[in-house]
Chains A and B, each alone.
Chain A
Amino acid sequence: MQRHPIIPIVALVGAIIAVQVTATLSGREYYLTQLIMSAYYTIVVCGLCLVMGYAGQLSLGHGAFFALGGYTTAVLTTLDFSSGAINLAATGLGRGLLKVGILVAQTDLYGRDFVAFTPWAAFIAALLLTLAIAVVVGYPALRLRGHYLAMATLGFGLIVYRLLLGTEWTGSADGISSVPGWHILPGVVICGKSAHRVKNYYVAWGLVVFVLSFIVNVVRSRTGRALRSIHDGELAANAMGIHTAGYKLKVFVLSAGMAGVAGSFLTHYNGGIGPSEAGAMKSVRYVTLVAAGGMANVWGVLMVGSVLTFLSLRGCFGSMDHAVFGGILILIMSFAPQGPLKPLGDFLSRVRSACRRAPRDSAAGRPGDGDLPGRLG
């Protein structure tokens, strides 16, 4: 599994293409809609996998980062910046932004004129805001031990949820709708219209492939080793000169950024966002998916995460949706806390070491048989 990381990625790309072709050919192209949404949620979960599985930190507030990214995009592209308290267009800065094209004058569904930011500018703002808040929250929170960190991140998520729920200009309980499409590349628009569905599918899953490659490369590098060492023995990692607190923060902020990016994209695809994205239920669900996928196994997390999210979005769990995820969480944590595949993995490695031990006793000899001194220097 460690030898050629490119193979699973190629397999993933192949699977992505295969699924799309199958869906289109069999006339079930509407499945792509939920597949696109689950792609974006899977990105959040993969980022969280880095934090939980590798750095060993628990975050119960990642839904808040997703929501921060999505809401920033929504607010900046739908609010009218040419009237009322936020009359930016009247200022010199506003006029400059209009000229450069960051602010754009548009007409909404009802024929009213308004001035708002372009999606690209909103995206950059969303990413920066999410990263900044992650630093501000992460810096004190990551010094806390296990359950205190869990509560701190949960509390943070709930604060964001309450703020979004109670603020008028974020749409209160209804959230924000009529978010415009995003012309991300020439010919590619991120929006919910069925004409663009296939392109959106490839954008979404292309982003997943990019994020996954990113994560896989990081895990197989000195950073990945540092993270795993923090997970396995923080004291020893420190003694080896690794700034463990710094790494935990970096990984936390990185995963928050991924969640914010996913939130931004999905908001454009859905054309809107609601406060429940920041809620505790969503955040707990992300944790469930990481646990069910195998904590430190990013491929397992990808597969389990996307499948379960897809099923949930299709309504396969009906009214028991939340209960199913709660139940999965309990079962995984009770019986296979390192992931459902771990017992299998343990079995396999026992088999492997049994094979290893057979020739070992005859050929290699044991160290300490007089061949040590003299090797140094």
Chain B
Amino acid sequence: MQVARPFSGTDRRQEQVGLVSQALQYIFSGITAGSIYAIVAIGFNIVYSTTGIINFAQGEFFMLGGMTAVTLSAFLPLPLAIAGAVVVVGLVGGALDVFFFRRLRKPSILQMIIITIGLSIVIREAALHIWDEKVRALPYFTGDACSSVKVLGAAISPQVFWVLVTVGVVVIALHCFLRYSIVGKAMRACASNSTASTLAGINATNMRTLAFVLSAGLGALAGCVVSPISMTSYDMGTSLAIKGFSAAILGGLGNHMAAVAGGLAVGIAESCSVHYVPAAYKDAIAFAILLLVLFVRPQGLFGGTEVGTSSREF
């Protein structure tokens, strides 16, 4: 089918503007999802660097945050509901450490991973029984589902800005905390060498619990802030955990700043993939990135330690 009139300059510009705004749409949705993956990745990193454990239940903290906030918002104003959810889920995270990990006698790393897998399953099923399989969502913080802001031709929901701002604040606050506060430095000490830090008077066990509480609370906060856009359902935790892990690995395990970069990369890749690959496969993109990183460069883009060699872990 041919266009009858000759191709004029305005047509081309319009076409370009259309392409740019479409690309921007992809990028913004990628950044939105990516910043969530970044938070999950940071949560992984906090626990990993302090304890060496990959906490599979990280994704469930997200889900719990959103669900708890929805329940609380029935009788509390929204900000309080969210704060309450963060506290509750933070306590759940701490409880995981106190009741499970503290009781183990010198477990191997692999044992710990399998235990966290089991924990994530149990948490999921508990959530299913407490709430049920219906999808829930918090109300939009500002505006509603229809409001949108035009950025360079792309229509962005205001909630996206909430997400970005929250994630940005969290990242900066965490960075300052770990770098400048005593407690933060103590956590970093435990991450480097827990025996030495114990000898220096740091209670490594409490640091570990703090790591769990922190990662759970942050996860819950992110789960609340993204709930209006991407809904909350009892089974969203698993794939979120894997995607967050992909982001963490891409940046390099243990590196908080790199996790942000990794999360954004995964989110944008996932979003742009819709252009090239059937949308049904979109979720597989993050997993494919995971495999690619693990096979080609397990230490990630910014990591340094050699993780390739194989050794028995059981």
Contact = CB atoms under 8 A, between A and B. Distances in A.
A218 interface: no
A148 interface: yes
Closest 7 CB pairs between A and B?
Answer: A166-B280, A326-B121, A146-B313, A329-B118, A323-B125, A330-B118, A162-B284
A58 B56 CA distance: 15
Interface in B111-137: 111, 113-115, 117-122, 124-126, 129
A142 B103 contact: no
Main DSSP-derived SS at the B contact region: helix
B224 interface: no
Contact of B54 (A143, A151, A166, A231): A151
A337 B107 contact: yes
A326 B125 contact: yes
A155 B287 contact: yes
B288 interface: yes
B238 A280 contact: yes
Interface of B: 54, 100, 103-104, 107-111, 113-115, 117-122, 124-126, 129, 238-239, 242, 245-246, 249, 278, 280-281, 283-284, 287-288, 290-291, 294-295, 298, 307-314
B284 A287 contact: no
Nearest to A146: B313
A254 interface: no
Contact of A145 (B103, B126, B310): B310
Given A148-B294, A158-B242, A162-B281, A56 B249 contact: no
A330 B281 contact: no
A52 B114 CA distance: 13
A329 B249 CA distance: 26
A281 B314 CA distance: 21
Interface of A: 52, 56, 58, 60, 140-152, 154-156, 158-159, 162-163, 165-167, 172, 230-234, 244-245, 248, 280-281, 284, 287-288, 291, 295, 319-320, 322-323, 325-330, 333-334, 337-338
A231 B312 contact: yes
Interface-centre pick from A158, A163, A231 (highest chain B CB count, 10 A)? A158
Contacts of B278: 166
Interface-centre pick from B117, B238, B307 (highest chain A CB count, 10 A)? B117
Contacts, number: 155
Contacts of B288: 155, 159
A295 B314 contact: yes
A150 B113 contact: yes
Contacts of B311: 145-146, 234
Contact of B122 (A143, A156, A327, A338): A327
A233 B311 CA distance: 8
Given A152-B294, A333-B114, A334-B115, 10 more contacts: A58-B114, A146-B109, A155-B242, A163-B284, A166-B284, A248-B310, A326-B118, A329-B114, A337-B107, A337-B111
Contacts of B313: 56, 58, 145-147
Nearest to B289: A155
Given A151-B245, A231-B312, A333-B114, A144 B307 contact: yes
A338 B298 CA distance: 28
A142 B110 contact: no
Given A145-B310, A151-B249, A165-B280, A330 B125 contact: no
Contacts of A152: 290-291, 294-295
